[in-house]
Structure 1
Amino acid sequence: MSSNFLFELGTEELPPKSLLSLSEALAASVQQQLKALGLKFESFDSFASPRRLAFLVKQLDEHTPVSEVENFGPPAKVAFDKDGNATKAALAFCQRNGVSIDEVSVASDGKVEKLVCKVTKGGELSSELLPGIVESALAELPIAKRMRWGSSRTEFVRPVQWLVFMQDDQVLNCSLLGKTAGNTTRGHRFHSSGTIVIDDITNYKQILREQGKVIANYAERRRLIKQQVEAVANNLNGRAVIDDDLLNEVSALVEWPVALGGSFDKEFLSVPPEALISSMKEHQKYFHVVDNDGQLLPSFITVSNIESDDYSAIVNGNEKVIRPRLADAAFFFATDLKQSLENRRSKLKTVVFQAKLGSIFDKSERIKALASYIADKLGTDGSASVRAAELCKSDLVSAMVYEFPEMQGIAGYHYALNDGETKEVALAIDEHYLPKFAGDKLPSSRAGAIVALADRLDTITGIFGIGQHPTGSKDPFALRRASVSVLRLIVELELELDLADLVKFAASQFNDLSKIESVVEDVLSYVLERFKAWYEEAGIDAEVFLAVNEKQLSAPLDIHRRVLAVSEFAKGSDAEALAAANKRVANILSKLDKQPQGEINEALLTEAAEKQLWENMSALQAKLQALFMAKKYSEALAQLSTLRPFVDQFFEDVMVMADNEQLRQNRLNLLRLLRTSFLEVADISLLAVKR
């Protein structure tokens, strides 16, 4: 037997940026609990709109699965006294399991004879379990701050107004969050009045749409909005730029979406488009429109929550609202152009970066020095990098960035061009904030990459230098993100840089930073630790990174190349045997009081297997050294893999720890050479090769 269940929680308008996550968390928790109880269902449909969270479960099992299990109790020798009467332990066991003493028997649990009884588990009604399941799911929702309303002590993200909880056509007898379950819902705040009776829960979505003017399914509403926005943009002879975050937010703001196009004065297009887009997107939740070349058009698209016979009033109202906001952006831009970035630098002295690390001006000076150092290490002209580093923070004290913080860097780009700076310098000022988030693009210019790297290394080193290391729950300076950015900049842009060297120089820029060596070690360890998650996401086994990390290297690009090479090597047919052989050699050498240092004496190679191994190893040495110098690690490991049969035969036929000291030392020298050759790339003895 199975039934359909509908749950709907009606509230005041839910936070639009949280609606989707709340709905997904509710659905995931309920389904997880149902599956844990063994309750099967045909389908689970989730619904979310500005004033409701709901789900519909179709064909849910009426009962939890019934099963008979054996419960063991106390040992038989303590369950009965000498007269054969049940002891307190036996009676307690019976009471716990709801059986009489006559219903228990004695059996072995595999170790000792114990009391045992068979009990039936399961069979609970799903209709009785669901209220508790939903209550638990609601309590676990990711709500940053819960609120109370009225005189009630009930807490939720927003005040609860109604509750629907039904099994087929029957209302469940339950209460949640201060509301008693019923069979009535509410429709659109403006297009519907009064309550709507749900007479068929399988038609819940259609009832709300037809009687309440509410599109309850979030994904459906999102698709409709996207289609409407694209159609309106096409009518405006442009293309709508649909940002996922904005689309999600708008989908959470409306129940009955109607996309409308509006326009603004062309004169505003003289303002940096990013400022106009920010104003439209952040303040008004508008989608902007571009032409075929990607240039901003003087048009916008808003999504109304009202259906009307005449939308002109809505469009006119939105145009009136956006005009002063764009006028503000134009005013800020025009005002900022009157003062150069160079002249603004002095104002940075009053802006604190961190109390112990000085002002933003001080930071820009350190970035400039570090950018120059990095450029020298890369063997590139650092003039553009140094100039960009000098000016990269000046737009922070501009009116534009004060009003639109997301314009930092972008504003600096436009102001630099206005000041007569080169395009390379202007672009580096903009790009030094890249990447801004996981998966974001990297700087396209070498100068931008250098300043981006210098900025982050200065922050990480300074914060570590004053002892404010990030913890598992606190990372106020976003050092994890900064560290990943450092690795991405170096690896993906193929910058041949030594991180330890850069951090040491960065630390030297702070006047009173003590224990520089310790700071360098801590920063290096912390940044390189981010590689673990990087490779985990790439599907590379942790042992591969550990094998490379054992060499204690500090050049990220070199580390990355080795990891890729070892990862590829680990997939080969020879990897398991060679990894085991290296581990065996490492164990042998680790037990010696003194490590072998001598050369191989060919005259002492008495066994055929050791002669073959030496001949093949010596033949490879020149080629291997060339490959190591060229950092062609994959090719080097491929060459070393050819030794596999000779290594196997050596351990099969040769007694390493021979009684003759000269033979023993010569063989140990041979193993040391083998081990050293592999260690040039990584310690492959740490690989746990899976077959």
Structure 2
Amino acid sequence: MSEGVSTRPLLLEIGVEELPAGMQPRLAAELESALQAALREHDLLGEGPARTYSTPRRLAVFCPAVAERQPDREVEHRGPPVSAAFDDSGNPTKAATGFAGRFGVGPEDLERRATDGGEYLFFTEQQTGRGAMEVLGEILPQVIEGLPVPKRMRWGDQEWGFARPIHWLLALFGEDVVPFEVGGISSDRFTRGHRYHAPDPVHLDAADDGEYRGLLHEAFVEADPTERRRQIEAEIRNQAERAGGRIPQGDLIEGLLEEVSGLVEWPVPFTGGFDEKFLELPKEVLVTSMEKHQKFFPVEDGDGGLLPTFVGVANIDSKDPEALRAGHDRVLRARLEDARFFWAEDRKRPLAERVDALKHVVFQAKLGTLFDKAERLAVLAPAVTEAFDPSVASLAERAGWLAKADLLTDMVDEFDNLQGIMGGYYATADGEDPQVAAALAEQYRPGHAKDRLPETATGTALAIADRLDTMVGCFGIGLEPTGTKDPFALRRAAIGVQRMAIEKGIHLDLPDLLGRAFGAFGDRLERSREETVNAVIDFLNDRLEPMYTEAVGQPVYRDVVAGAEQVTAEQGAGAVAGPDKNQVAAILSLRPTDPFDAHLRLKGLLALLAHPNAEALIAANKRIGNILRKAEEEVPEGYDAEALTEAEERALAEAFEGVRPRFQAAVEAGDYTTALLALAELREPADRFFDAVLVMAEDDAVRRNRLALLGTIHAAFLRVADLSKLPG
């Protein structure tokens, strides 16, 4: 937008029935983005950041400066080629007159202009800018109707739908209402306050951000979600302290804060409690009852143990706070009584006695029942232990057999997010080995990218086995993820396997383990063993790139950068950049079958790239690759050192043989940093070789021997990484 143009603020609010908490941030961001894009497209967007607001009953965006009218502008239109616009006598054809007629001018008013594609007719149209009110009346309904809503609700006789029925539309451009209609609702200058405390319309004189927030605040609405969350967090922590405890830290509490902030417009925290007898229940049961079902914040003591207290957040300033508190206490007590009953009843029957009943629970129609899965895990979990701790093989077998038994307990039926966790508690009550109980509790870790890993060897083996079994089964019947569809969470499973292998330093032989997993399915799978195993390995490798290029600061990322930082410090160089797609591709192009080994290779590659010789060495390696690729003859596998005639080629061979033992020993030990840094010593002799030696000599024997020397060096690099994938 040009300087000096008159502007006015714009305020748009969509008033709706209660929006789900998780939907509000995304829709508010989409509304801001779509509105600014539309204003920018129509040359109306002025300076200053937009501000968004959201509550369960509204989505709003405020733009501080919108031009009062579009600028006048010149628009060039290209017409037909001159060869088609005029006949042999130079008279305009229908192509020329038709093009000119579109703009109300004659062919003589058109301009001939040479382009790369030949000479064409052009017309420069002078477009007069339109008033903002007219343009806004068109684009605001388009912005609202274009918001990405996954599942639309319809109301009345409207064919168009939104996330929830719309009840009002506020659209002010300065002091004026922008007239339009969406979903049968006409825009106006009023918003609405709290549903119970201030249900009447609240009129605004103008699009004023401060007035908007102030009037809503008087009407018991805090429109700013960030401020609403801040108020909630401060007050719940204050109330927890007054109750003699504290609100726990962690992702669950952060998620609950975000959710509760989206459930209320006028947050009123309160403190409640429950009978101490319920503290006999597992902590996770109490926390789930409070957080998941009632949206209450648990309160813990200084040692992390739960207190019989909680903090809730009401959406109403009750005239009788004690009655409100008592009502919430009763609801929670009823849930805890149910949980206490489940806890007592479930322990009357050991997990081992429940396994047989898994025959009646289908895992997947083609893959069999959960009993079938338990049998497979009892075989695959001990096989995984061979990679890092064979001493727990028998424990892993037992854990695999019992892994899914808790799915048949009443507690997990009621609190499905406690699967595995309750298995651990019940296994302990049954007298199972502590490692088996821990494995059952840890088997679903990590549940997300930042989740904790299993702590025990048995739990790690079971967690890896469970994921590999599911991936092999799904890929074996063609159920691999497509687009956004991933019903068996295979992407998350793959990342979990990669994280456990890399962060715990476990060398997994994927072809062997996946082959064993395939065999355990018998004749259930539709694809061949080779096809299935290869597909799963490729799928796992595809998950590696984002782990390094997007998960900045996570353990896998930090570790792979650490080696390069050490080399940089030793060389006195600058800061180390994290791995990029090309560097990861240099490893993945070798199609690794051991995630931790691939990690060590990438770590070594970054260390090499931090070395001063890296750039020249990569260029030399690419040059070698190009020479070998263009050679129209078979390159011998080994070279004859005695047949090397030039001093520079002998020097290169001697330098390579000098580092070769160190390189090979490092590769065999998985120390790819040392291996590649050894090859970095070849930079100077390689430079001298290419300056002085003609590789493609006319003498066949000389040429083939030089190609063999270069092929040997090139093969050494390829034992670690494919440097041709790097730029330069």
Question: Matched residues in 2 for 1:119 and 1:307: separation?
Answer: 61
- Cross-structure match for 2:415: 404
- Cross-structure match for 1:359: 369
Q: Could you tell me which of 447, 458, 466 is aligned with 1:436?
A: 447
Alignment pair present for 1:15 and 2:20: yes
User: Secondary structure, in 3 states, of the residue corresponding to 1:219?
Assistant: helix
Tell which deviates more after alignment, 42-51 or 257-266: 42-51
- Cross-structure match for 2:637: 597
Give CA-to-partner distance per residue, 1:229-268, whole Å, 9 cap, x none: 1111111111123723222221122111100000000000
Give the counterpart letter for 2:29 in structure 1: E
Question: Matched residues in 1 for 2:351 and 2:223: separation?
Answer: 51
Question: Matched residues in 2 for 1:117 and 1:418: separation?
Answer: 86
Give the counterpart letter for 1:16 in structure 2: A
Assess if the C-alpha contact under 8 Å between 2:16 and 2:168 holds in 1.
Answer: yes
User: Secondary structure, in 3 states, of the residue corresponding to 2:50?
Assistant: strand
Q: Could you tell me which of 182, 200, 209 is aligned with 1:194?
A: 200
- Cross-structure match for 1:528: 541
Structure 1's 353 and 116: CA in aligned 2 closer, same or farther, altered over 3 A?
closer
What does 1:39-78 correspond to in 2, within 5 Å? 39-76=45-82, 78=84
- Cross-structure match for 2:656: 617
What does 1:564-575 correspond to in 2, within 5 Å? 564-575=603-614
Alignment pair present for 1:426 and 2:433: no
- Cross-structure match for 2:702: 663
Q: Could you tell me which of 125, 128, 142 is aligned with 1:119?
A: 125
Structure 1's 458 and 65: CA in aligned 2 closer, same or farther, altered over 3 A?
same
| Structure 2 stretches lacking a partner, 5+ long | 1-5, 553-577
Assess if the C-alpha contact under 8 Å between 1:205 and 1:215 holds in 2.
Answer: no
TM-score by structure 2 length? Answer: 0.90
User: Secondary structure, in 3 states, of the residue corresponding to 1:595?
Assistant: coil
What does 1:426-575 correspond to in 2, within 5 Å? 426-512=437-523, 513=525, 515-537=528-550, 539-575=578-614
Give the counterpart letter for 1:376 in structure 2: E
Give the counterpart letter for 1:594 in structure 2: E
Structure 1's 122 and 289: CA in aligned 2 closer, same or farther, altered over 3 A?
farther
Give CA-to-partner distance per residue, 1:528-553, whole Å, 9 cap, x none: 22112223325523332332233333
Give the counterpart letter for 1:437 in structure 2: H
How far did residue 91 of structure 1 move? 2.9
How far did residue 300 of structure 1 move? 1.0
Give CA-to-partner distance per residue, 1:83-135, whole Å, 9 cap, x none: 76644323322333454555433343466444333223472333333343333
- Cross-structure match for 1:306: 316
Structure 1's 379 and 320: CA in aligned 2 closer, same or farther, altered over 3 A?
closer
Tell which deviates more after alignment, 195-204 or 606-615: 195-204
How far did residue 406 of structure 1 move? 0.6
Q: Could you tell me which of 617, 638, 661 is aligned with 1:578?
A: 617
- Cross-structure match for 2:279: 269
Give CA-to-partner distance per residue, 1:54-86, whole Å, 9 cap, x none: 111112222334433443333445445577664
- Cross-structure match for 1:228: 235
Give the counterpart letter for 2:62 in structure 1: L
- Cross-structure match for 1:239: 246
Assess if the C-alpha contact under 8 Å between 2:617 and 2:683 holds in 1.
Answer: yes
Tell which deviates more after alignment, 631-640 or 534-543: 534-543
Give the counterpart letter for 1:540 in structure 2: P
Tell which deviates more after alignment, 420-429 or 376-385: 376-385
Question: Matched residues in 1 for 2:137 and 2:354: separation?
Answer: 62
- Cross-structure match for 1:6: 11
Assess if the C-alpha contact under 8 Å between 1:205 and 1:217 holds in 2.
Answer: no
- Cross-structure match for 2:725: 686
| Structure 1 stretches lacking a partner, 5+ long | none
Structure 1's 87 and 470: CA in aligned 2 closer, same or farther, altered over 3 A?
same
TM-score by structure 1 length? Answer: 0.95
Question: Matched residues in 2 for 1:613 and 1:316: separation?
Answer: 85
Give the counterpart letter for 1:671 in structure 2: L
Assess if the C-alpha contact under 8 Å between 1:72 and 1:109 holds in 2.
Answer: no
Structure 1's 594 and 239: CA in aligned 2 closer, same or farther, altered over 3 A?
same
Question: Matched residues in 2 for 1:107 and 1:507: separation?
Answer: 68
User: Secondary structure, in 3 states, of the residue corresponding to 2:22?
Assistant: coil
Assess if the C-alpha contact under 8 Å between 2:638 and 2:709 holds in 1.
Answer: no
Give CA-to-partner distance per residue, 1:267-318, whole Å, 9 cap, x none: 0010111111111122211111111111111111111111135411111111
User: Secondary structure, in 3 states, of the residue corresponding to 2:543?
Assistant: helix
Structure 1's 684 and 124: CA in aligned 2 closer, same or farther, altered over 3 A?
same
User: Secondary structure, in 3 states, of the residue corresponding to 2:130?
Assistant: coil
Structure 1's 100 and 57: CA in aligned 2 closer, same or farther, altered over 3 A?
farther
How far did residue 649 of structure 1 move? 1.5
Question: Matched residues in 2 for 1:102 and 1:438: separation?
Answer: 67
Assess if the C-alpha contact under 8 Å between 2:377 and 2:466 holds in 1.
Answer: yes
User: Secondary structure, in 3 states, of the residue corresponding to 1:237?
Assistant: coil
Give CA-to-partner distance per residue, 1:522-581, whole Å, 9 cap, x none: 222222221122233255233323322333331111111112222332354433332332
Using the aligned pairs only, state the percent identity.
40
